[in-house]
Structures are given as structure tokens and as C-alpha cells.
Chains A and B, each alone.
Chain A
Amino acid sequence: MSTSIALHVGSLERGETASTREPAWVKVVLISIALSFFGIFLLLPLGTVFAEALRKGWGAYLAALVNRDAWDAIRLTLITAAIAVPLNLVFGVAASWAIARFEFVGKRVLITLIDLPFSVSPVISGLIYVLLFGAQGWFGPWLQEHDIRIIFAVPGIVLATIFVTFPFVARELIPLMEAQGSEEEEAAVVLGASGWQVFWYATLPNIKWGLLYGVILCNARAMGEFGAVSVVSGHIRGQTNTMPLYVEILYNEYNYAAAFAVASLLALLAIITLALKTLVERQTRRQLQEVTEASGE
């Protein structure tokens, strides 16, 4: 597959004349600018995280990660993601089924509303839950009466995380399902398949890579969210500290090596996310190519 792409590019380049190509020096300058910008803005911060984390050696690095506070932060981050990601996954599938498979009035408005959390500042995403469930909030007095804590407690962190990761799966699936059309599913219905059978056997195999892509991005944000969670957490060690919040506490205590040690786990998560993303993109491109080749024959 890759050789055919390379050959194609090669033939294009041979067909080029000098006037459809930049002078060599322009090309060199542009590539140099991109490489230096890439080095300073992207590689350097990433490298710094690992360099600072290991500055005091592996012993200090491990000690920063293997202790009660760090472990509590890791656990809370995992729990939060384990609740937020599946909920938004189910929502994303339901929303894209309704939007990409049916025509109805107000579709564009609905899509815009689904995108809303992306355009809201993380700080405001936390604030809205304080306004709802905080001591002075709408449900504050009632919650206090029944001794239920949401703000400055785990439920608030989970809610804020669900809000900021809300659009990820839906936004990947809607354009994908719209592009694929519904012929296969309609054929399955005509052949007598039930609704769930249509979804499992006709829809899911076609959207699985897009779904995975959405879940990967959703998970990365859920584990890394800082601003929204910071507003609702109250920063209680061992109780309401997620990993990003724990990084902040350590950093503000001038415990840089430990802060970067915890940060290095999050940076590792980012690298894994990007690697998976690249892999999934390659898969979808291959799938798309097979579809276009099949229809071309």
C-alpha cells in the first residue's frame, strides 16, 4: 500500500516544472523554520519533563511515585476516567445514531450544542457545578441537609470531567457515520435484522476505528484535565487529588523532582495517546482506500 503512494508522489514530482515548485532555498528555509519551531516548542518541553523527573536519579524518581499520596492521585484519576469515558461513549454512539442516520429539524443546532463544552473555558466548566451543588448553589442547602458532598469531593471531579470530555466521541462518530451512509444498515433491516443486530453487525464494524479514536482522545483529556477539576476539587490530599492536581501541589511546594516524576507519567500517557492516534488514523485511511478501490472497480 505504501509503495503505491510513494510511486504516485514520485511521478508527480517528475511532472513538475520549475514554476510550480519553490526555489530550493525557500524549501530549505521553510523546513528549517518548521524543524526549529518543532524542537523548541514541542520536543523541548517533552524532554524537559523527563529530564527534570530523573534529575535526582532513579531512586528519587521511584520514591516520588511509590507513596501514599501519589498512589491516591493515580487511583482517583483512573476512577474518574473509568466513569467519564464509558458514559460519554454511550452518549456519543446514541447521538451519532440519531444525527447521522435520521433527518430532522434542528440538526445543526443540536450539533452545535454538543460542541459547546469545547468552547467553554475549563475554569467555567468547574464553576457551573459549584453554582449548582456548592454551599451557595441551587441544590446546596438540600445537599447539606442530606449530608451529600459533591463539590470538594469525588462526585464533583467526575461531573466536571464528564463535562469537559463530553463531545469527544460524538464529534468523531457523527462525520464518519454521515460519510459512510446507511445502505448496509437499511439492507440489514430489509433482511429482517433487529435494531441491536443492525448496530452490532452492520454499524459497529464500520465505525470501530473512529470509535476507538474518540475514546482515546476522550480518555487522554479525562486523565489530564486540570482547570475544571481544580475548581471543584478543594485540593484535599489523598481524597480529591487527581494526578494533574497533585503535580500542581508538588510544584508549588518547590518539590520539582517529584512534581516532574508524576508529570512524566502523564507525559507518557500523552505519548501513548499520540502513538495510538497515529495508528488508528493509518487504519481508517486504509479502510477508506479499500472502500474507494472497491467502488472504483
Chain B
Amino acid sequence: MASVKRFSPLPGFGLAMGYTLVYLSLVVLIPLSAVATKTLAMGWDSFWDAASSPRVVASYQLSFGASLLAAAINVVFGLIFAWVLVRYRFPGKGLIDALVDLPFALPTAVAGIALATIYSENGSVGSLLEPWGIEIAYTPNGVLLALVFIGLPFVVRTVQPVLADLEKDVEEAAAGLGASRWQTFARIILPHIAPALLTGFAMAFARAVGEYGSVIFIAGNVPMVSEITPLLIITKLEQYDYAGATAVASVMLIISFVLLLLINGLQGWMHNRGRRT
């Protein structure tokens, strides 16, 4: 009980743990604490002024609003993707399964310029939408579109394994007891995958809130209209307003940490449910 570590015959705990803690502190913890120290040094009033000016609040509304909507869209389409990939066989399935992770693998700046080109008024899709009066590039719609692109893999990849593990006999039992296919889905399958859907939603949302590269090319970046919060931080930095940038960053960091804890909690819940069944 005196030691924090339980006995193990394996060597190397001290070295591995020591290295882990030192490297973690140097690369992550100390640099991140700079935001907290800098914010605390500002004093409440100047922090509040910087973090709640109208332009900053407008950027929160866009960033959080578009991220919520994008994550919700991802839940719907992510579930369809996961379902189709787990349950059906069709030509091109292997390719889709491999390319679902493209938004993870494609550098964000590349995705950004590609999306901006496609959806601008001369672009391959933008020119089709233009006669209908639908504008995507250089409007808040563009922000939403980029965030849907970036968030899709999160929902697919969290739901896919849970759906694959779902035992067929539970569905057969429900059908045997007279449930329709829709009832089986709504009462048996959906509750089973709900934690995974929620986790995917939270992950997509967390990623979307902080996303920068894929958004800025298509957003138009008009202050008060289509300016996302991460871009505003950069703008403030470029004007040497370090305190203002730090204040906005600390607001975003706090929200990110809350989301991280929420995601961890959800994953713990999923894990425990998996064990019980």
C-alpha cells in the first residue's frame, strides 16, 4: 500500500514512467499551462472584455452553431455509412471502407482549397447550385460543409465496430416475438448503438469547433458573418494582441476539456455496457 504501483515481475517501470512524465510535461503540460497563466495574469475585467466583445461572440455563435449542426448531420450519414458497411455487400464497398478515413488523412489545407474550388460559383458543384440561388462558398454554409467533411469518419468509426458486434440472435428473438423490422431497429438496435453514436457526435463536434485549415478557404472570413473562432485567434495574434488571443483561446480550451471529459465518460459507459452483455 505504501507504493503507488502494484508489484510486477517486469522491469523498466521507473524508466518508462519517468520518461513519459518528463516528455508529457515538457511538450504538453507546461506549454498548455502558459495559456492559463497568461489568462490569470490578465485580471477578470480585461479577460471578460476580450472574450466577450461582439465580434468574438459572433465567432462563437458561428463556430459552435455550425459544429453542432455538422455533428448532427454526421450522426445521420455516419450511421447510414456504418450500417451499409456492416450489413450489406455491394460493389465498391472495400474502397468506401478504406476512403472513409480520407478526412483524417488528407491535410486540412488541401481539403480546404479543394472544397473552396468545388463550391465556388465557377466550381463543379457551385455552378450547378448557383442558378437555384444556393451559395455555399464564402458564406456560413461553406463553414458547415467543411465541418461535415472533417467530422464524418468519427461517427462511422465509432459506430461500425459496435454494430458489427451486435448479435444477430437478439434481432431474431425480437422478430420471433412479432416485432416489425422498424420496431427491432428502434427498440433493440438503436439503444445498443446509442452510446457509440453519442461518442461519435461529441468527437466530431470537438474536432469541428477547433478546425481551421479546411474551413478558412471556403468560409470567406467576413467578421461577424463567416469568421470562425480559431481564425479570430490568429487575427488577434497578427495584430500583436496576445492577451486578446489568449483570452479567446482559454475559452475554447475550457470547452474542449469539458468535451474531452464527456467523451471519456461516454467511452467508459460503452465499455461497461459491452462487458455486461
Interface residue ranges, A against B (CB under 8 Å): 9, 12, 17, 19-23, 27, 30-31, 33-35, 37-38, 40-46, 48-49, 52, 90-91, 94-95, 97-99, 101-106, 108, 110, 112-117, 119-124, 127-132, 134, 136-138, 159, 162-163, 166, 182, 185-186, 189-190, 194-195, 198-199, 217, 220, 223-227, 230-231, 243-245, 247-248, 251, 256, 259-260, 263, 266-267, 269-271, 273-275, 277-278
Most buried by A among B9, B148, B184, B231: B9
CB distance from A233 to the nearest CB of B (A): 12
Measured in the bound complex, the distance between the Cα atoms of B5 and A223 in whole Å is 38
Measured in the bound complex, the distance between the Cα atoms of B89 and A99 in whole Å is 39
In-complex Cβ contact of A116 among B88, B110, B175, B260 (8 A) = B260
Known A124-B252, A227-B108, A230-B234; further 19 A-B contacts with Cβ < 8 A: A19-B184, A33-B77, A38-B81, A45-B114, A102-B6, A103-B8, A113-B28, A119-B206, A122-B212, A123-B212, A124-B249, A186-B9, A186-B10, A189-B10, A198-B11, A226-B212, A230-B212, A245-B109, A270-B106
Q: Say yes or no: B105 contacts A274, CB within 8 Å.
A: yes
In-complex Cβ contact of B4 among A106, A162, A248, A274 (8 A) = A106
Q: Say yes or no: B81 contacts A227, CB within 8 Å.
A: no
The answer to whether the Cβ of B102 comes within 8 Å of any Cβ in the partner chain is yes
The A interface, classified by DSSP as helix, strand, loop or mixed, is: helix
* Residues A113 and B24 in contact in the complex (CB < 8 Å), given A129-B31, A132-B34: yes
Q: Say yes or no: B118 contacts A48, CB within 8 Å.
A: yes
Task: Return chain B residues, CB-CB under 8 Å to A122.
Answer: 108, 210-213, 230
Task: Return chain B residues, CB-CB under 8 Å to A20.
Answer: 168, 171-172, 175, 181, 184
| 6 A-B pairs in the complex with CB atoms less than 8 angstroms apart | A103-B6, A120-B32, A121-B252, A224-B109, A259-B113, A269-B107
In-complex Cβ contact of B106 among A131, A132, A266 (8 A) = A266
Q: Say yes or no: A127 contacts B237, CB within 8 Å.
A: yes
Task: Return chain A residues, CB-CB under 8 Å to B171.
Answer: 20
Q: Say yes or no: B77 contacts A37, CB within 8 Å.
A: yes
Q: Say yes or no: A121 contacts B209, CB within 8 Å.
A: yes
Task: Return chain A residues, CB-CB under 8 Å to B213.
Answer: 122, 226-227, 230, 244
CB distance from A252 to the nearest CB of B (A): 9
Q: Say yes or no: B4 contacts A104, CB within 8 Å.
A: yes
The answer to whether the Cβ of B257 comes within 8 Å of any Cβ in the partner chain is yes
The answer to whether the Cβ of B253 comes within 8 Å of any Cβ in the partner chain is yes
Count class of interface residues, chain B? 35 or more
Residue interface mask B231-246, A partner, CB < 8 A = 1: 1011001001010011
* Residues A162 and B31 in contact in the complex (CB < 8 Å), given A27-B88, A44-B118: no
CB distance from A181 to the nearest CB of B (A): 12
Q: B residues 1-58 with Cβ under 8 Å of A? A: 4-6, 8-13, 15-17, 19-20, 23-24, 27-32, 34-35, 38
CB distance from B234 to the nearest CB of A (A): 6
Q: B residues 227-273 with Cβ under 8 Å of A? A: 230-231, 233-234, 237, 240, 242, 245-246, 249, 252-253, 256-257, 259-261, 263-264
Task: Return chain A residues, CB-CB under 8 Å to B80.
Answer: 30, 33-34, 37
Measured in the bound complex, the distance between the Cα atoms of B183 and A283 in whole Å is 38
Total A-B residue pairs with C-beta atoms closer than 8 Å?
288
Q: Say yes or no: B34 contacts A115, CB within 8 Å.
A: no
Task: Return chain B residues, CB-CB under 8 Å to A230.
Answer: 212-213, 234
Chain B, residue nearest A167 (CB) = B28
Top 10 closest pairs, chain A to chain B, by CB: A121-B210, A224-B107, A227-B212, A19-B175, A226-B213, A270-B105, A98-B16, A195-B11, A123-B230, A45-B114
CB distance from A278 to the nearest CB of B (A): 5
The answer to whether the Cβ of B132 comes within 8 Å of any Cβ in the partner chain is no
The answer to whether the Cβ of B61 comes within 8 Å of any Cβ in the partner chain is no
CB distance from A91 to the nearest CB of B (A): 5
Task: Return chain B residues, CB-CB under 8 Å to A217.
Answer: 104
The B interface, classified by DSSP as helix, strand, loop or mixed, is: helix
Interface residue ranges, B against A (CB under 8 Å): 4-6, 8-13, 15-17, 19-20, 23-24, 27-32, 34-35, 38, 77, 80-81, 83-85, 88-90, 92, 96-111, 113-115, 117-118, 124-125, 148-149, 152, 168, 171-172, 175, 179-181, 184, 206, 209-213, 217, 230-231, 233-234, 237, 240, 242, 245-246, 249, 252-253, 256-257, 259-261, 263-264
CB distance from A203 to the nearest CB of B (A): 10
Q: Say yes or no: B237 contacts A224, CB within 8 Å.
A: no
* Residues A131 and B259 in contact in the complex (CB < 8 Å), given A33-B80, A122-B212: no
In-complex Cβ contact of A94 among B5, B16, B233, B257 (8 A) = B16
Measured in the bound complex, the distance between the Cα atoms of B264 and A48 in whole Å is 37
Q: Say yes or no: B35 contacts A30, CB within 8 Å.
A: no
Q: Say yes or no: A136 contacts B11, CB within 8 Å.
A: no
Measured in the bound complex, the distance between the Cα atoms of B107 and A223 in whole Å is 8
Q: Say yes or no: A119 contacts B256, CB within 8 Å.
A: yes
Q: Say yes or no: A48 contacts B152, CB within 8 Å.
A: no
Q: Say yes or no: B110 contacts A266, CB within 8 Å.
A: yes
